[in-house]
Chains A and B, each alone.
Chain A
Amino acid sequence: MNSFRSGPDERGLFGNFGGQFVAETLMPLINDLATEYEKAKDDPAFQQELAYFQRDYVGRPSPLYFAERLTEHLGGAKIYLKREELNHTGAHKINNCIGQILLARRMGKKRIIAETGAGMHGVATATVAARFGLQCVIYMGTTDIDRQQANVFRMRLLGAEVIPVTAGTGTLKDAMNEALRDWVTNVESTFYLIGTVAGPHPYPAMVRDFQAVIGQETREQLLEKEGRLPDSLVACIGGGSNAMGLFHPFLDEPGVNIIGVEAAGHGIDTGKHAASLNGGVPGVLHGNRTFLLQDEDGQIIDAHSISAGLDYPGIGPEHAWLYDIGRVEYTSITDHEALQAFHVCCRLEGIIPALESSHALAEVLKRAPQLPSDHLLVVNLSGRGDKDMQTVMHHLNLEEKPA
């Protein structure tokens, strides 16, 4: 049977994407992790514990909310918001963190490391590390530290050590390099809790599985409310974990139109963006083959996005494959369009969305008016915008100043 949901293969490949492109020091550990994860996945006790923490600690299921005023305002498709921003710590990131920390504990690891961009994954990791009493070290680029200070403080409150990374442009890619260096150095004691559907196999598949609860719930909730599956799904993509979580359970439903939204920054033609699929080419970085922003010499180009969480020059390999075979449509939204959508959501729905999620909302603002009123559109509201107050204030000031 032809399925879009059977990947990756035993080498960790989705088509020609993914794999295990890492230094030899890490290979044995990555293989261990893959074996342990396979065992845990099939262990009812593990799944039971995961379900318990998702319910009583994370607060799942997250509501599927009919955005009535947004729907009226746009005058087209019927819009539902999957409210991942209501999870503990304010984003979808915790779904994956709970899963991986249970695995880390099962593997007897005492020390957790993670990279973070916007800080949401760092906060979620620090949170679960505190909950399970494990040492926690978070790598974060200095540029991101400047624009996400509240999250840095949160991580420290939760007992994590936040290590500033000055290399490169001080964003997510550099934080990931530094986390990999730490891991290579402390390989026996340390569990690397990757925050997105990227990195060497088994991370892309494992993170996807932990995030797939988003799509599974959406499916049940919409069947209950509407008696049928959605017509469209929309989610933003940096590495792509919230999108993959929503999309994966629907990949084999031919009637469901799936749209991933990349960050176009100042615009793809300006070169200052984070749209790896729409503006990159295949390459190998951080353990996997995927689409990357790179120059003619294969050097990685720094990404740009107003939202720190999308500011990454690569994308999860499963997205690269879905793009390649055309199962998912990948579009892009500029900083400016995302900010506009941010305001619309605040004013019409009384929900302050994360700037990341605002990219998905901006795509909905474009699309929904062209669609009929019986078109069911689900957008993943992957995180809340509290962390973005500084950035938004900064841009409002710029806009209010006379030119």
Chain B
Amino acid sequence: MSRLQPRFAELKQANRAALVTFLTAGDPNYDTSLAILRGLPAAGADVIELGMPFTDPMADGPAIQLANIRALQNGQTLAKTLQMVREFRQTDQATPLVLMGYYNPIHKYGVERFIAAAQEAGVDGLIVVDLPPEHNDELCEPAQAAGIDFIRLTTPTTDDQRLPKVLHGSSGFVYYVSVAGVTGAGSATLEHVEQAVARLRRHTDLPISIGFGIRTPEHAATVARLADGVVVGSALVDRIAKAESSEQTVESVLKLCQELAEGIGSARR
């Protein structure tokens, strides 16, 4: 069963928001990516989102587009991403791990085969950007039947009328995309986030994580006062782009992760 529910429950008990980190699997290469992944829990990541690389990441900004290209150029495939999860689970059985990406590689791999492999590897949830609730029968329903959570993105354009439809079939947590835009773009105002969280709470009891445009420990701390989880992606991915060596990459990403975790840890004191 999914590790997401117990993890969010523990954090609620401790009056602390979750740090949800996003990285693209295989960025910049398999070994470095696995080393980062293995270091994340100790560096304070509460939930891990692992991107499944795709040639055409339509909803991503430049940072994550480049991460996809780096990973693919170094031979990352969906099979290798699942292998990476298996290797991660050899050293960590507790941290929830969510695979995030686009539908086509899963479609090609075969939905049934993918769900079986993901379950066996120790995947807790899926976020598939281009599968809205209109296509729940494709992957959402079979994944949930197999005990894998399906996490929905909700956005500023998802109005009250549509929200129940989006939340129906959501599990694990709800990911609120705080700005209409691609990943890594500008961030929402605090007021907007506050209102959005309040609106979502009226519709769901699931934990709410906020993402898009959160880059610094200070910013993460502010959001952590309002939501159950804070998602950071592009800022971590940028560290990979800027690093000069493999060791430096791992160190630099994990350092930012630590700082973000400290920011979040201090938020509700």
A interface residue numbers (CB < 8 A to B): 11, 19-29, 167-168, 173, 177, 180-181, 184-188, 281-287, 289, 292, 294, 296-300
Is the CB–CB distance between A298 and B108 below 8 Å? yes
B interface residue numbers (CB < 8 A to A): 53-61, 65, 72, 77-79, 102-109, 129-132, 134-135, 152-159, 162, 166, 177, 180-182, 185
Is the CB–CB distance between B108 and A23 below 8 Å? no
A28 to B157, CA, bound (A): 7
18 contacts between A and B (CB under 8 A): A21-B103, A23-B58, A24-B177, A25-B180, A27-B162, A28-B158, A168-B56, A180-B59, A181-B60, A188-B157, A282-B107, A283-B107, A283-B108, A284-B103, A297-B78, A300-B55, A300-B56, A300-B104
List the B side residues contacting A298 at CB < 8 Å: 54, 78, 104-109
Is the CB–CB distance between A24 and B58 below 8 Å? no
A309 to B56, CA, bound (A): 19
List the B side residues contacting A29 at CB < 8 Å: 157
* Given the contacts A23-B129, A181-B59, A294 and B108 also touching, CB distance less than 8 Å: yes
* Given the contacts A181-B182, A300-B104, A21 and B130 also touching, CB distance less than 8 Å: yes
Is the CB–CB distance between A294 and B104 below 8 Å? yes
Determine how close the nearest CB of chain B comes to the CB of A92; give it in whole angstroms.
26
Is the CB–CB distance between B157 and A284 below 8 Å? no
Beta-carbon nearest neighbor of A300 in chain B: B55
* Given the contacts A284-B103, A287-B130, A185 and B158 also touching, CB distance less than 8 Å: no
Beta-carbon nearest neighbor of A297 in chain B: B77
Is the CB–CB distance between B107 and A22 below 8 Å? no
Determine how close the nearest CB of chain A comes to the CB of B105; give it in whole angstroms.
4
List the A side residues contacting B155 at CB < 8 Å: 23-25
A25 to B153, CA, bound (A): 9
List the A side residues contacting B135 at CB < 8 Å: 19-21
Q: A184 contacts which of B72, B162, B181 (Cβ < 8 Å)? A: B181
Is the CB–CB distance between B157 and A187 below 8 Å? yes
Beta-carbon nearest neighbor of A27 in chain B: B132
Beta-carbon nearest neighbor of B177 in chain A: A25
A24, A28, A177, A184: residue with the most chain B Cβ atoms closer than 10 Å = A24
A251 to B79, CA, bound (A): 42
List the B side residues contacting A282 at CB < 8 Å: 107
A282 to B107, CA, bound (A): 9
Is the CB–CB distance between A24 and B166 below 8 Å? yes
List the B side residues contacting A284 at CB < 8 Å: 102-104, 107, 130
Determine how close the nearest CB of chain A comes to the CB of B54; give it in whole angstroms.
7
Determine how close the nearest CB of chain B comes to the CB of A336; give it in whole angstroms.
28
A289 to B139, CA, bound (A): 14
A287 to B104, CA, bound (A): 11
Q: Which A-B residue pairs are the 5 nearest by beta carbons? A: A298-B108, A298-B105, A185-B181, A25-B155, A297-B77
Is the CB–CB distance between B180 and A185 below 8 Å? yes
Beta-carbon nearest neighbor of B182 in chain A: A181
Beta-carbon nearest neighbor of B105 in chain A: A298
List the A side residues contacting B158 at CB < 8 Å: 24, 27-28
List the B side residues contacting A19 at CB < 8 Å: 134-135
List the B side residues contacting A287 at CB < 8 Å: 130
List the B side residues contacting A25 at CB < 8 Å: 59, 153, 155-157, 177, 180-181
Beta-carbon nearest neighbor of B165 in chain A: A27
Given contacts A187-B180, A283-B104, A286-B56, 9 further A-B contacts (CB under 8 A): A19-B135, A23-B129, A27-B157, A173-B56, A181-B58, A284-B107, A298-B54, A298-B104, A298-B107
Is the CB–CB distance between A297 and B108 below 8 Å? yes
A297 to B114, CA, bound (A): 12
Beta-carbon nearest neighbor of A167 in chain B: B65
Is the CB–CB distance between A22 and B182 below 8 Å? no
Is the CB–CB distance between A185 and B182 below 8 Å? yes
List the B side residues contacting A299 at CB < 8 Å: 53-55, 72, 105
A289 to B129, CA, bound (A): 15
List the A side residues contacting B156 at CB < 8 Å: 25
A300 to B109, CA, bound (A): 14
Is the CB–CB distance between B162 and A28 below 8 Å? yes
List the A side residues contacting B185 at CB < 8 Å: 185
List the B side residues contacting A181 at CB < 8 Å: 58-61, 182
List the A side residues contacting B77 at CB < 8 Å: 297
List the A side residues contacting B180 at CB < 8 Å: 25, 184-188
Determine how close the nearest CB of chain B comes to the CB of A14; give it in whole angstroms.
15
Is the CB–CB distance between B154 and A24 below 8 Å? yes
Determine how close the nearest CB of chain A comes to the CB of B188; give it in whole angstroms.
13
Beta-carbon nearest neighbor of B102 in chain A: A284
A20, A27, A177, A284: residue with the most chain B Cβ atoms closer than 10 Å = A284
A371 to B59, CA, bound (A): 50
A180 to B134, CA, bound (A): 19
Is the CB–CB distance between B134 and A11 below 8 Å? yes
Is the CB–CB distance between B181 and A24 below 8 Å? no
B58, B60, B103, B105: residue with the most chain A Cβ atoms closer than 10 Å = B58
A26, A173, A181: residue with the most chain B Cβ atoms closer than 10 Å = A181
Is the CB–CB distance between A180 and B58 below 8 Å? yes
B106, B157, B162: residue with the most chain A Cβ atoms closer than 10 Å = B157
Beta-carbon nearest neighbor of B77 in chain A: A297
Beta-carbon nearest neighbor of B162 in chain A: A28
Beta-carbon nearest neighbor of A25 in chain B: B155
A286 to B57, CA, bound (A): 10
B107, B132, B162, B166: residue with the most chain A Cβ atoms closer than 10 Å = B132
